[in-house]
Amino acid sequence: MKVGVVTFPGSLDDVDARRAVTIAGGEAVALWHGDHGLRDVDAVVLPGGFSYGDYLRCGAIARFAPVMTEVVEAAKSGMPVLGICNGFQILCESHLLPGALIRNDHRKFVCRDQPLRIESTSTAWTSRYDEGAVVTLVLKNGEGGYVADDATLDRLEGDGRVVARYLGGNPNGSLRDIAGISNERGNVVGLMPHPEHAAEGLCGPGTDGLPFFTSVLQALTAA
C-alpha cells in the first residue's frame, strides 16, 4: 500500500513520516505542495512543521495549496488522511475537522515526551491499539491548544470522535485535554503529538507511535 506524505515549504517532519510508513511495511510516496495529483496513493499524511512559515495562522495558507484540493476531495471520498501537528492545523483550516488550534495557554513552545490515552480505536489510524491504551509520543508545538464551542466538543465526545487525550497534565491548554480527533467517518484524524517520532527503538521514546501507521495499512488491506 502506498502512503503519500506531503511536503510544504517549512515542513520539518516529512522525512520522519515517510520513514515511519516504511518501518510499518508500506511504500512511502513523497508528495509536493504544488502537485495537482496524488500519484495513486492509498492514504495521505500531512506532516508537522511550519507550512509557509505559519503566516496568518498555522495552516491557513497551506489549505490553499494545490495538493490540498486533491486531499480534501480524496478525504471526502473515504481516503485515510492523518494530520500530525501542523497537519492537524491544516485539516482544521481545510474544514475536514472541526475546531481550531491556537497558541499554547502558557505562551511557550513545549517539547517533551507526552503520555496519552487512546480513546478511540474505530478510526483507520488507531485500530491496532487497545482502547484505553496509555502511550508516550513526542509533543512539540507552540500553537497546540485545541478549541471548539461546547456543542462541537459535546458532539465529538458523544460520537466517540476524541481519538487521544493528554495524561499527566495538560501541556497546551487544549479543551477537555484533547490531543486528537477524527471526522465522523473515521478516515480523517488530526493528532497534535508526533507518532512518527516514536516508530522505532533507535531514537525517541519507543515504538508507541508505530500502530498509527500499521493501523492504516491494515485498514487499506481489508478494504
* 116-to-82, 164, 171 alpha-carbon distances in Å: 17, 6, 11
Whether 202 has a pLDDT exceeding 90, the answer reads no
Give the SS3 label for residue 46.
strand
Q: What is the C-alpha to C-alpha distance for residues 200 and 97, in angstroms, rounded to an integer? A: 29
This prediction has a pTM of 0.97
- Tell me the CATH architecture of domain 2-222: 3-Layer(aba) Sandwich (3.40)
**Nearest in space to 138 (alpha carbons), one of 163, 105, 111, 171:** 111
The active-site residue, picked from 33, 58, 70, 85, is 85
pLDDT tens string 96-152: 999 999 999 999 999 999 999 999 999 999 999 999 999 999 999 999 999 999 999
Catalytic (active site) residue 197: no
Phi, psi dihedral angles at 21 (to 5 degrees): -60, -45
Phi, psi dihedral angles at 151 (to 5 degrees): -65, -40
Q: What is the mean pLDDT of residues 192-217?
A: 95
Neighbours of 25 (CB within 10 A): 12
Identify the residue whose cell numbers are 501537528: 85
* 38-to-66, 89, 195, 199, 222 alpha-carbon distances in Å: 11, 20, 23, 25, 21
The active-site residue, picked from 58, 119, 194, 197, is 194
pLDDT tens string 67-93: 999 999 999 999 999 999 999 999 999
Catalytic (active site) residue 85: yes
Helices 210-222 and 14-24: crossing angle in degrees, nearest 10, is 60
Contact 15, 55 (CB under 8 A): no
Catalytic (active site) residue 194: yes
